[in-house]
Structure 1
């Protein structure tokens, strides 16, 4: 399917260059374009198009249709997920909207416990009370917008499928979870503990709303904003440790855009890649690549995290398969803790009324439709993994995709927790409500479960942490609490790569919140108060 292209020529100079028009970059560019007389250039490697030109597959609620558009992801990017698997395709958004144009559309806030961990990691100003007003401000919650702790009228619509629109697997999982004693949590984003919740999506009227729609489109006609699609930023240029612009690659042609400020929003794979090509990163890696070291920042590309998951393949009964074609898929989430004391039932205490501090690190998502006329699945995910990987350059050529080594399940605790979750999911599938819609129910492997997990594990395309936020005294930190890159002036990173600790939920809403707050900090730096 061809994607329409709305092009804008490159200027020779700008006040700020924002790199990447995804979930973060669209928000940052939109907010910076509100500055009077500021010249903001937004450079996007993939196609640029107006909201009205959005491909139908992107609007569709079937995530598989959007993921199938090679033009909207880095088509040749591959990642090694575990040591037991060969490298395989890894989906990262490419084009306006970025990952929000091709992701699973889940709109879940990070939890209070997530942001407590950020503060403990040396990032003041990022506690739950600090970030909650921004979460409220960005949302237009169509179900809870008039309730406490929620917002109405913000740029990001949040909706849930009504009970009558839930697919048969989703409906059966919901009732089975309640019957097994899991708490009902009608509002996924209420900051409560584990339990069963209707899935919250960034949709309006049954159609996906990406950051291209929510943030970039309303800013398109501001005179100071220019969007240039189909161009890759090869590197940031410096003079005496101070940003002086970017070098943009358009095929073999290179163009320099002069600018005193650059904000990288290219995501947790490509933001560190740009830093490394620019001479900001571990000195030994840069020396091997023949890249001149501008600032030795060892943490660039390190501490890559993603949420490991396994899919339990299911086959629906004939009646259920027919209903699945007429209803929505993935309409609820079951969240529960793992580890000592969690067992194979609802968590004691957490489901019994514990509040915002109750942890959960396992997520069960029903997929009412996968591939095939009666195919379905139950996705079992570990949402707070300890295993970490890395992003490295193969060369300093921007046409070469970086090397992505996720190293999922390298920590023994991750293997144990995910294995426990798979056993519980298989047991839950034996509930009478699920037996009524599932014709074939898988059982955990009779042999080596840990080996099966390493061989079957998949990523959820939620990379983060490769430009970690933290104080300059932390040798692994790349940016400070305002997103400023350590060791240079005029350079920021403002996307999921700066997460100091991964969020225990899909990262879209937290990334938009982060981008909004960092954009406000950048604006203060660019236009200090008199």
Structure 2
């Protein structure tokens, strides 16, 4: 097979790239996705569901052996990274936020020239059809529908939390994609009210798939990028148990912030000493490949939702979140995020557990992605190195205390009780897999939970919670710091491992046009190219990046 444009990875960026490049009939586009390629009429119900928890715990949609570390000396833990057409957009929480205009102005200032807010806004508008707002800040004809749940449809636990936020002086912002700053807002969501709108559904619809110049290969894993005469020439792919070669005039990598740098290193592009350590010939010595890994580290407190909190039919896990400012010096405003979560899983226990979560919107700790071997069957080594920067540690412990105070403030205790420090452990993952056994077990536990105060306390203290009691953590600064350090978790916003910037900067991996420095026809268009993580969820910014780089690749042609 030969393509004018080979797109590697069918996630949030790859679906956009394949759709936009194939709009030009003179292009021949091949999209290669390691996971399942579901056509629009085949998308399973759990991927369509507006409740994101339906897909999140289905292991068939994720890389099975991918593990990450909180820090270098911590044991690796499983990490949910989408491995299905649409990638993260098919399994995420559907939060359709853009980030702050100042985030993009800062990208421009630190070397990603032309990625300032005024330059990227047209691409945010291009990707969306906003069902609530029609003005110069919002799109009306894009593939991704965006809507917000009216406050009269929010659950009572969430509303009780917003009452406390109001009392603390945080105002309601009706449209956080139109006005960024402190306050809380109805979350913009990437669904149309009846189904999720992933990039697979929005960009690769039936009409797009009928294009004769677009071919989508599912369950096809790229093992390395191939080169000839100093240029990217295609890729080695495993498909149907066989190794194949796909040749191409231009190669665009959209494998995500963890697998894109891994693939580049397997192909000889990365830190030279590290590649030679694994016996890989160095094609381009780019020390920035796999470095600068960023995320939004998160921490949680959960509790029991009594019947009064469950009388409304809950369609989602969260409807709003709060931005607040930590006030630390030299840290931008609105650098922190807090979310009220009114449903923790699909099962009977999950609908009885609510959570307050916080994450650091503008983090400063950086980690790395490295090879574990030169074998493409081995997953990368990933160390997020969360909270290594003291500013992150200080803000995460402060966020934990803030959440505890809010949950103890009227009227929240009427809607959430039996508070405990919570985490996404492997035990929680096991119980959250959809099967008959878990449905029976959680139904029995739910009946016990509702039947008496003493049984409920026993369940929460001895079975559900596996952390130190909340009062003990709040009374001892040392214990709280250890708890936060050992239980901080990802918001699944991995980014920045192939950072965009000034090509003269040795830390830069791609220039402002998305082209890998030193490789004339090799591009990257996913969250890995972010110079710094934006102060919000990364899916919509990733789609914007792919829209803009697709236009640059089209304008360049495939010479």
TM-score (norm 2): 0.87
Report the counterpart of residue 374 of structure 1 in structure 2. Answer: 352
Using the TM superposition, give the Cα deviation of residue 252 of structure 1 relative to its aligned residue in structure 2, in angstroms: 5.1
Q: Is the 8 A contact 1:112 1:191 kept in 2?
A: no
- Residue 119 of structure 1: CA displacement? 0.9
Q: 1:175 to 1:147 in 2, by over 3 A?
A: farther
The correspondence for 1:49, drawn from 32, 38, 42, is 38
Q: What is the CA deviation profile of residues 234-291 of structure 1, one whole-angstrom value per residue up to 9, with x for unaligned ones?
A: 1111123211111112265211111121000000011111101110111111101111
1:207-230 deviation line (CA, Å, top 9, x unaligned) = 211100111124211110000010
Deviation at 1:83, TM superposition (A): 4.9
What residue is the counterpart of 1:455 in the other structure? 486
Q: Which residue of 1 aligns with 2:432?
A: none
Partners of 2:521 and 2:558 within 8 A in 1? no
Which of 5, 14, 29 is matched with 1:40 structurally? 29
Say if 2:253 is the partner of 1:264.
yes
- More displaced, 257-266 or 235-244? 235-244
Q: 1:235 aligns with which of 201, 220, 224?
A: 224
Q: Is the contact made by 2:327 and 2:333 (CA closer than 8 Å) also made in structure 1? A: no
3-state SS in 2 of match to 1:445: helix
Query: What is the distance in 1 between the residues matched to 2:314 and 2:372?
Result: 46
> Are the aligned partners of 2:514 and 2:524 in contact in 1 as well (CA < 8 Å)?
yes
* Mapped contact 1:297–1:478 kept (Cα < 8 A): yes
How many residue pairs get matched?
501
CA deviation vs aligned residue, 1:361-393 (integer Å, no higher than 9, x gap)? 111111101141521111111111100111111
Q: Quote the residue 1:166 is aligned against.
A: 154
1:440 equivalent in structure 2: 418
Separation in 1 of the partners of 2:157 and 2:73? 31
In the TM superposition, what is the alpha-carbon distance from 1:63 to its structure 2 partner?
2.1
- C-alpha distance in structure 2 between counterparts of 1:51 and 1:475, whole Å: 43
Q: What is aligned with 1:186?
A: 174
8 Å Cα contact 1:192/1:358 also seen in 2: no
Is the 8 Å Cα contact of residues 288 and 497 (structure 2) preserved in structure 1? yes
Query: Is the CA contact (8 Å cut-off) linking 2:401 and 2:474 kept in structure 1?
Result: no
1:254 alignment counterpart: 243
Change in Cα spacing, 1:164 to 1:84, as seen in structure 2 (3 Å) is farther
SS in 2 for 1:323: coil
Contact 1:334 1:365 in 2 (8 A): yes
Residue aligning to 2:526: 495
Match of 1:419 in 2: 397
- Rounded Cα–Cα distance in structure 1 between residues aligned with 2:536 and 2:314: 28
Moved more, 416-425 or 225-234: 416-425
Across the aligned residues of Structure 1 and Structure 2, the Cα RMSD in angstroms comes to 1.8
Residue ranges of structure 1 left out of the alignment (5+ in a row): 1-11, 343-356
3-state SS of 2:474 partner: coil
Q: What does residue 205 of structure 1 align with?
A: 193
Work out the CA distance in 2 between the residues paired with 1:431 and 1:13: 63
**1:165 and 1:327 in contact (8 A); partners too:** no
SS at match of 2:35: coil
Tell me, yes or no, if structure 1 residue 104 matches structure 2 residue 93: yes
Give the C-alpha shift of residue 325 in structure 1. 4.8
TM-score by length of 1: 0.91
**Is the Cα contact below 8 Å between 1:166 and 1:329 reproduced in 2?**
no
For 2:116 and 2:182, the matched residues in 1 are separated by 21
Q: State whether residues 84 and 454 of structure 1, in contact with CA within 8 Å, keep that contact through their aligned partners in structure 2.
A: no
Q: Deviations over 1:412-431 (max 9, x none)?
A: 11000111122122112222
- Partners of 1:139 and 1:488 lie apart in 2 by 32
Select which of 191, 203, 212 maps to 1:223.
212
CA distances 1:337-370 after superposition (whole Å, capped 9, x unpaired) = 113389xxxxxxxxxxxxxx97311111111011
Comparing both structures, which one devotes a greater share of its residues to helix? 2
Q: Which runs of 5+ in 2 are unaligned?
A: 421-469
Aligned match of 2:339: 365
Distance apart, 1:37 and its partner CA: 2.3
The 2-side partners of 1:276 and 1:104 are apart by: 30
| 1:93 match | 82
CA distance in 2, matches of 1:129, 1:222: 33
Q: Check the 8 A contact 2:108/2:116 in 1, yes or no.
A: yes
Give the 3 Å change call, closer, same or farther, for CA 328–282 of structure 1 in structure 2.
Answer: closer
Stretch moving more, 18-27 or 175-184: 175-184
d(CA) in 2 for partners of 1:84 and 1:61?
A: 38
Rounded Cα–Cα distance in structure 1 between residues aligned with 2:179 and 2:190: 18
